[in-house]
Amino acid sequence: MGMPTLTIDGKLVEFTPGQTILEVAKANGINIPTLCHLKDTTPTGACRICLVEVKGARTLVASCAMPAGNGMEVKTDTETVHVSRRLNVELLLASGNHNCLTCEKNGSCKLQSLAYAYGITDIRFKGQTQQYPAETENPLIIRDFSRCILCGRCVQACNEIQVNRAIGYGYRGAKSKIVTTGDRPYQDSDCVFCGQCVEVCPVGALTEKKAVGLGRPWETAKVRTTCPYCGVGCQMDLHVKDGKVVKVTAADGQSNKERLCVKGRFGYDFIDSPERLTTPLIKGEDGRFQEASWDEALTLVAKKFKAIKKEHGADALAGLTSARATNEENYLFQKLFRAGVGTNNVDHCARL
């Protein structure tokens, strides 16, 4: 039996059972905008931006949550669809404080982009918006509830991708809010500060505190690199302005799939730290470190290794290497110890 098919914007396409309409559209080069959809997590259908027409359905359907069906006829680009999407963007804009000029997300905000695409220049709906104060106490993440559109991506990222289960929906109606257990600040909760919620937030509700004011998206260059902290090899983008790293975000690497841990995402202060060692140090007779050249340092180590080996044998020496070195460097290190020094006493910090 062949693959099931559906018609989307007049085009007959095949799909795999289990795919949603949104996934089928994407696989066939048809763009359906969405604010809440997060790849590899359970669809929530929260934002109502991905609405499409399905022949026979009484209402527009959220394509992110609707499974594709054999023989379906789907339209993604009709006036009804666009009027509804535009209205939902307007309602989201009216639901909080969306003064883009003062927002850190200006220039990379998905709500802002949709408002622009739909030519929205005024907030049509006026009403009372919720008044939760921003949470700025912890050193890494700012939570500005006045900009939260309750899309739930942070919840999905925390619970289903990182599996930290630190946040969820709290309260009801206009008082709805993303909360930790007991609605405590991040630093007093189960949050481990991986920052994945910040990574996926489509608007300015969650932002990296250290990056505030250091550069708009159009002022920074993205440089792809590998995280230096451990052997997993997560891919990341350094956001660089005037030669300085101002922010780090995850890239879609084979081993990390757009995820990072707290060290990779937030631990980049060392790059410009004045305390970094820039030259080898040798402890002098008086017990104080003196700057030395690499030749001097390596000659001293070789001399001491030889003396220990001569007096106690090669197994009196051991080498411990690091996951921060590359595979190639670690290979050379063990070779140095096995073939050069003559001992198998070699180990690695990442071995469990």
Site of interaction with ligand SF4 (CB under 6 A): 98-100, 103, 105-106, 109, 111-112, 147-154, 157-158, 162, 164, 166-167, 178, 186, 191-197, 200-201, 203-206
331 token code pair: 């290979």
Least separation in angstroms between residue 31's CB and ligand SF4 is: 20
Distance of CA 235 to the CA centre of its chain: 11
Minimum distance from residue 2 beta carbon to ligand SF4 (Å): 40
Nearer to ligand SF4, 87 or 317 (CB): 87
In terms of CB distance, is 53 or 144 closer to ligand SF4? 144
Nearer to ligand SF4, 74 or 93 (CB): 93
The nearer residue to ligand SF4, 6 or 37, going by C-beta atoms, is 37
Of 217, 210, 239, 207, residue with least CA distance to 108: 217
CB of 341 to ligand SF4, least distance (A): 43
Q: Which is nearer to ligand SF4, 6 or 152 (CB)?
A: 152
The least distance separating ligand SF4 from the CB of residue 331, rounded to whole angstroms, comes to 34
Q: Nearest approach, Cβ of 168 to ligand SF4 (angstroms)? A: 10
Among residues 290, 268, 272, 288, which one has the least CA distance to residue 280?
290
In the complex, the smallest distance separating the C-beta of residue 120 from ligand SF4, rounded to whole angstroms, is: 10
Residue (13 or 46) nearer to ligand SF4, CB:
46
